[in-house]
A and B are shown apart, each in its own frame.
Chain A
Amino acid sequence: MPIVTVRRISQGFFLVLFFWLCLAATVGGQWWQMRGWPINWILGLDPLTAGATMASTGTLYAPLLWSVAALVLTVVLGRIFCGFVCPLGALNQAFGWASQRYRKPADKVLANRPRPARVVKYYLLIFLFACALTGTLLTGIFDPLPLLHRSINLTLAPILDSGSPVLSLKPRHYASAWLLGGVLVSILSLNLVIPRFFCRFVCPLGALFGVLSRFTPWRIGKSTDLCGECTVCEAQCEGACSPSGRIVTGECLMCCNCLHRCPHGRIGFTTAPSAGGETPLPDLSRRGLVLGGAVGLFTGPVLRLGGLTGSNNNPNLIRPPGALDEERFLARCIRCGQCMRACPSNIIQPALTEAGLEGLWTPTINYRLGDSGCQVNCIACGQVCPTAAIRPLTVDEKRGRGDFAAAGPIRQGSALVDRSRCLPWVLDRPCIVCQELCPVSPKAIYTVTTFEAIRDGRGRVMAAADDSLELAGLGPIIAPLAGGDYYLRRSARPDEALRRISGFSGNKIGLVKAPGWNAPPESGEIVDIVVRLQRPHVDASRCIGCGMCEHECPVSGLRAIRVTSENESRSRRGRLIL
């Protein structure tokens, strides 16, 4: 079997595997849904994530050990990952192939000529590592594996589910998905301009593989310099690495097209250096590398000057349960979007501005989108996080039970009632949906009962009986007086027990029999119709910030009870109450 056939099969296999793992990250009860499938396996293969998190945290999180496989493969055989494994590489190659297909060979050669801009990715790599050294992990923005996961998880998969859901049970929503979609479309479209545009100029993972392939014992090269310069190999070269001339081995994507296509069989994969000469990497300027590194060392600190990780934190940035404190979180999150796809409530969203520039596309919770608040027994997000930016909690730890009873439950923040919008507080209408749905026991939302006179509800008694009154002077009343929430209060006898209203028609008010009058009202006495209001209060010492209340609040625009990050467990400095 020709080597390019093997490569195509391998690319197809890993692309299908990638899509499959994205599908398997769907919440649900089907066999193909989240059932312990290794949905992070491809992310774990990523030595850029492994290396950069080692630089930013000084540790290597266990699932990233898989990246040793990709590392060893590259060190020995070159950028096999780019040519045979990378799913974004396969997509780029397919798009590039389709756009080049009917071009003349000379044009193809032109499209695949080496360009000076290919050095950009190496400077980007230096920049990203320098950032990581200062604790700012930005690799996920450019790294193809998190990038493609994020793009599929947050744009393609939810679009599949938008009409009649195919994967999920309900359509899923992602804030600012337009930007993620725009990035994906741009990356794929650029292949029409230059094949493998992203791979050749941007990909920091590819740059890392290029550097790592410095000492490969075997590499692609010409067996003889007697080469007719037919440039058939150049026309098909994915890496634009000049196989017919002085080959740049670090740029070679191991597409193996030259091996296969050379009409004279003069190109091989051997230990002998290429007869045409070879060079490990393109001409990287020392100035460029130093600048990339210096800017990287500068970027992290300058991003932190705004104080977003400390006293200037955004109260609307609510991280998933188990997320580390902001500084350690930003040193780990690769913005892959796995937590956002795994969340059964669909409330974990990619941050656009919430976490500042440094936190672009990191997870933030939006209790308005999605199906419910954060479910108290759910720990999906931490379980799928490939870098433990969200720690893998147990249900006991999340709920503060068992061994964690002393530590108490994990809090994402705390809810506070907006008394300028809440129905019982400002519109004098009964409600307490928030209290009803608070899942904490005893509830973190409690109510204080009060009675308020309603508008136009003052009347003069015309006639009184044991269980009814006729009143004069009432205004037009649309409140549902018979619903059990409305009472009658005698203004001259405010201390007498209120009489509950059981019916209302015209000017006649029916009253529940018990308790009766101390003394029946006299004609002309002034009475008020009052409404019984249970006004919600939050006990911040019990609130876990799950957002059930905010999600269900009937004041559906700007909710009348909202969770902010106050009192979140992850940030001791954010503690609200003692």
Chain B
Amino acid sequence: MNKFGETQQRVENALTRRDFIKRAAGASVLALSAGALYAGLYDGRGPSPGDTGKVLTGLGDFSVPAASGAGRMAIVRGTDRAAMLDRAVAALGGIESFIAKGDRVLIKVNAAFATPPSLGATTNPELFAAVARMCLAAGAAQVLVTDNPINNPESCFALTGIAEAAASTGARLIIPGEGMFSPLTLPGGKLLVEWPVMAGAFKGVTKLIAVAPVKDHARAGASMILKNFYGLLGGRRNVFHQNIAGIITELSLLAKPTLCVLDGTRVMLTNGPTGGSLSDLKAADTLIVSTDPVAADAAGLELLERSLADVPYIQMADAAGAGHADYKLLNPVRINLGA
């Protein structure tokens, strides 16, 4: 076809006015929506260097004022954990002085390793169950239990017997998921700065009970109640081992527990905190219950045959105001159920 012919063709297919208006309208709508999208999403400053979401400052103060005349610490000798717990709590004024009807109680256990309870590396499931039952009997609306363990969580909760104990008592097991961690900056903290902590487990929680075993720990000196709060941290928390006493001191300010249950029935004297052999354990036949986590740890040290000088974080936590390194100031009630 020659040039003339092509031109003819175009003229014959020329746009009608109606079609032109339709097209012009369509083009305008497209251009306007693109413009609106641009204007709506316009960002003149560029991205910030990091996540700028809400940053927490603490997980809460769950302590309750001591009942008049009741002690703040009980040290019970015996072998039956549940019986020792009963007597200790009774000496502190009974569970009702700590747990009110309708409370949501979070029990922070040590379930760091996928090892059986007999090896003593984790919170004893019967002791945990006894604590959970006690809270439910006192009218707690719900009992939750959690930890952010080192081995994978399913294996840890299953092998430590915590999952089964939770199921049998009606406590709800919270397995840490990605969404449960929120950044936290501890006021005055040097280490906990925008660090992910397990805040999701604390939703609606009104009371916090820490239940941990007494264990050897080569880096920190000992692993008891305060060290167990390491399990509230997320992220690559192991960098804090460079200043282990510093991080445990900050952890002592992260959340104030209602009650601390330190289990020295069997203590891990060597090869901690993993243990792995019955020969790492010694029968110390002692259960310590206190409202003061620092005092509980200080008393626990004696079961490990260690002194405050061996475990600097206890005095540092005392200096930070988290409790009493000289636990005798609390006039602990001593009960002997016979070992």
**Contact at B153–A377, with CB atoms within 8 Å?**
no
Interface residue tally of chain B, by bracket?
Answer: 35 or more
**Contact at A372–B151, with CB atoms within 8 Å?**
yes
Q: List the one stretch of A72-80, A123-131, A551-559 in contact with chain B.
A: A551-559
Among A370, A372, A423, residue most surrounded by chain B Cβ atoms (within 10 Å) = A372
Q: List the one stretch of A109-117, A220-228, A424-432, A489-497 in contact with chain B.
A: A424-432
Q: List the one stretch of A17-25, A413-421, A438-446 in contact with chain B.
A: A438-446
**B275 beta carbon closer than 8 Å to chain A:** yes
Interface string of A174-187 (1 = CB under 8 A from B): 00000000000000
**A268 beta carbon closer than 8 Å to chain B:** no
In the assembly, what is the distance between CA of A552 and CA of B230, in Å?
14
**Contact at A482–B316, with CB atoms within 8 Å?**
yes
Q: A169-B177, A483-B243 are in contact. List 20 more A-B contacts (CB 8 A).
A: A29-B158, A29-B163, A344-B152, A344-B155, A375-B151, A378-B114, A378-B155, A430-B219, A431-B219, A431-B242, A435-B219, A436-B217, A436-B273, A439-B113, A441-B276, A548-B150, A552-B150, A554-B239, A554-B241, A554-B242
Known interface pairs A429-B242, A431-B241. Does A165 touch B309 (Cβ–Cβ under 8 Å)? no
A556–chain B nearest beta-carbon distance, Å: 5
In the assembly, what is the distance between CA of A345 and CA of B271, in Å?
23
Across the interface, which residues of B come within 8 angstroms of A378, CB to CB? 114, 155
B277–chain A nearest beta-carbon distance, Å: 4
In the assembly, what is the distance between CA of A374 and CA of B89, in Å?
40
Across the interface, which residues of A come within 8 angstroms of B219, CB to CB? 430-433, 435-436, 534
**B179 beta carbon closer than 8 Å to chain A:** yes
**B302 beta carbon closer than 8 Å to chain A:** no
**Contact at A435–B218, with CB atoms within 8 Å?**
yes
Across the interface, which residues of B come within 8 angstroms of A375, CB to CB? 114, 151-152, 155
Known interface pairs A377-B115, A534-B218. Does A169 touch B242 (Cβ–Cβ under 8 Å)? no
Q: Which 5 A-B residue pairings sit nearest by Cβ, starting from the closest?
A: A484-B312, A441-B276, A371-B152, A441-B277, A554-B238
Q: Tell me the residues in window 1-37 of chain A with beta carbons closer than 8 Å to chain B beta carbons.
A: 27-29
Cross-interface CB contact of B154 among A344, A373, A484, cutoff 8 Å: A344
In the assembly, what is the distance between CA of A514 and CA of B275, in Å?
31
In the assembly, what is the distance between CA of A33 and CA of B278, in Å?
32
Q: Tell me the residues in window 216-257 of chain B with beta carbons closer than 8 Å to chain A beta carbons.
A: 217-219, 221, 236, 238-239, 241-246
Among A27, A28, A480, residue most surrounded by chain B Cβ atoms (within 10 Å) = A480
**Contact at A377–B152, with CB atoms within 8 Å?**
no
Interface string of B267-304 (1 = CB under 8 A from A): 00011111111011000000000000000000000000
In the assembly, what is the distance between CA of A377 and CA of B122, in Å?
15
Across the interface, which residues of A come within 8 angstroms of B316, CB to CB? 482-484
**A164 beta carbon closer than 8 Å to chain B:** yes
**Contact at B241–A170, with CB atoms within 8 Å?**
no
In the assembly, what is the distance between CA of A431 and CA of B163, in Å?
31
**Contact at B274–A436, with CB atoms within 8 Å?**
yes
A304–chain B nearest beta-carbon distance, Å: 37
Across the interface, which residues of A come within 8 angstroms of B239, CB to CB? 554
**Contact at A430–B236, with CB atoms within 8 Å?**
no
In the assembly, what is the distance between CA of A483 and CA of B150, in Å?
24
What are 16 A-to-B residue pairs whose CB atoms are below 8 Å?
A: A345-B152, A345-B155, A370-B152, A375-B155, A376-B276, A377-B114, A377-B116, A378-B114, A430-B241, A432-B219, A439-B115, A441-B276, A483-B245, A502-B312, A534-B219, A548-B150
Question: Which residue of the partner chain B has the closest CB to A556?
Answer: B236
Q: Tell me the residues in window 434-482 of chain A with beta carbons closer than 8 Å to chain B beta carbons.
A: 435-443, 447, 480, 482
**Contact at A436–B218, with CB atoms within 8 Å?**
yes
Among B113, B155, B217, B221, residue most surrounded by chain A Cβ atoms (within 10 Å) = B155
In the assembly, what is the distance between CA of A285 and CA of B270, in Å?
72
Across the interface, which residues of B come within 8 angstroms of A438, CB to CB? 274
Interface residue tally of chain A, by bracket?
Answer: 35 or more
Across the interface, which residues of B come within 8 angstroms of A552, CB to CB? 150, 238
Known interface pairs A437-B274, A554-B238. Does A165 touch B154 (Cβ–Cβ under 8 Å)? no
Across the interface, which residues of A come within 8 angstroms of B153, CB to CB? 169-170, 371
**Contact at A432–B238, with CB atoms within 8 Å?**
no
Interface string of A143-180 (1 = CB under 8 A from B): 00000000000000000000011000111000000000
**B313 beta carbon closer than 8 Å to chain A:** yes
**Contact at B271–A441, with CB atoms within 8 Å?**
yes
B213–chain A nearest beta-carbon distance, Å: 15
In the assembly, what is the distance between CA of A29 and CA of B159, in Å?
11
Among A28, A440, A441, A502, residue most surrounded by chain B Cβ atoms (within 10 Å) = A441
Across the interface, which residues of B come within 8 angstroms of A345, CB to CB? 151-152, 155
**Contact at B154–A27, with CB atoms within 8 Å?**
yes
Across the interface, which residues of B come within 8 angstroms of A538, CB to CB? none
B133–chain A nearest beta-carbon distance, Å: 21
**Contact at A447–B218, with CB atoms within 8 Å?**
yes
Known interface pairs A438-B274, A484-B313. Does A554 touch B236 (Cβ–Cβ under 8 Å)? yes
Cross-interface CB contact of A483 among B114, B155, B236, B244, cutoff 8 Å: B244
In the assembly, what is the distance between CA of A440 and CA of B242, in Å?
23
**A192 beta carbon closer than 8 Å to chain B:** no
Question: Which residue of the partner chain A has the closest CB to B279?
Answer: A441
**Contact at A433–B151, with CB atoms within 8 Å?**
no
**B175 beta carbon closer than 8 Å to chain A:** yes
Across the interface, which residues of B come within 8 angstroms of A556, CB to CB? 236
**B305 beta carbon closer than 8 Å to chain A:** no
Across the interface, which residues of A come within 8 angstroms of B312, CB to CB? 483-484, 502
In the assembly, what is the distance between CA of A416 and CA of B115, in Å?
25
**B51 beta carbon closer than 8 Å to chain A:** no
**A393 beta carbon closer than 8 Å to chain B:** no
In the assembly, what is the distance between CA of A322 and CA of B48, in Å?
49
**B178 beta carbon closer than 8 Å to chain A:** yes
Across the interface, which residues of B come within 8 angstroms of A27, CB to CB? 154-155
